[in-house]
Amino acid sequence: MATLRDIKLRIVGIKSTQKITKAMKMVATAKLRRAQNRIINARPYAIKISQMLSDLAADSDTATNPMFLSREVKNITLVVVTADRGLCGAFNSNILKEAVRYIREELEPENISVSIYPVGKKSTDFFTKRNYSISGSLKGIFSSLDYSASIQIFDDIVKKYNAGETDKVVLIYNEFVSIIQQKIVNKQFLPIPLQKSIEKKSIAQSNFIFEPARSDIFNYLIPKHLKAQIWRVLLESNAAELGARMTAMDNATTNARDLIRSLNITYNKERQAAITKEILEIVSGANAMKASS
């Protein structure tokens, strides 16, 4: 049975942990506000440029463009985006489980060769230790997330895709829904998927005059679109991570408070029992002395 000293030390230790989790929650909350603003501002641009590209593709020769050309998939690259740090609940583990499930259930049965492009320290460590084929990696970017990170990912992935080293690129990441909710997204990145409603839109656009030529605008927008999608994915993941961390630290702070309350009750009971035992010993000793005299 734990002594009073042991219980007291546990209470002191849990109080120290509670202060840390409370401070981490406050930091995550402050960062989350900025991350939310960034993703809210980035979403309309990413969505609009995707729509523009799809509209132009309706009347462009996409069959000869390597970014839209579907190939027989023999090699696939998975871009798995996690956080650089832990203490954010199941944020990282859910992404890694989805990536492993996708590989084992959908790719391995088709004998498709898989290479991983991990983004984030947790993803890099996970796949490196399990001897997956790593085609590149990027970590340590979320502490000060910058647009240059999306450019680096774009350069690495598109270079391998154009060289024929991979036939398909899939993004797996957490999308920010709300502070307490994140949604795992498994989305094809290359070849660029087109919307199903393109044919109807092209008819309505047939009277537009483009300057410069439609094909020039189309080719100019392709890299813009890809970089915007990667940037949005990084912002989504960053905001989702901060939301998950804030929720996790809030739960940890609450659990610490409940545990301290429970330990205080236990401490008081043990202390009362010890005092009662000492009183009984004193009374018994006094009675024994009376009897002997």
State the average pLDDT over residues 233-254: 94
Domains and CATH numbers, the chain: 23-248 (3.40.1380.10)
Q: What is the pLDDT of residues 97-114, one digit of tens each?
A: 999 999 999 999 999 999
Measured in whole angstroms, the distance separating CA 240 from the mean position of its chain's CA atoms is 6
Residue 59, pLDDT score: 61
Q: Largest Cα–Cα distance in the chain?
A: 121
Residue 51, pLDDT score: 82
Instruction: Give the C-alpha separation, 176 to 238, whole Å.
Output: 8
State the average pLDDT over residues 216-223: 85
What is the CB neighbour count within 10 angstroms for residue 91? 23
Which among 98, 53, 87 is positioned nearest to 229, based on CA atoms? 53
Residues classed as catalytic: 88
* pLDDT reading at 1 higher than 70: no
* pLDDT reading at 200 higher than 60: no
Residue 62, pLDDT score: 56
State the average pLDDT over residues 197-213: 57
User: Cβ distance 188 to 169 under 8 Å?
Assistant: yes
Q: What is the pLDDT confidence band of residue 203, given thresholds at 50, 70 and 90? A: very low
State the average pLDDT over residues 6-23: 92
Full-model pTM: 0.85
Q: Which residue has the tokens 């598109």?
A: 158
Q: Which helix (H) or strand (E) holds 145?
A: none
Which of 65-69, 88-92, 153-157 is predicted with the least confidence, judged by mean pLDDT?
65-69
User: What mean pLDDT, rounded, does the chain reach?
Assistant: 87
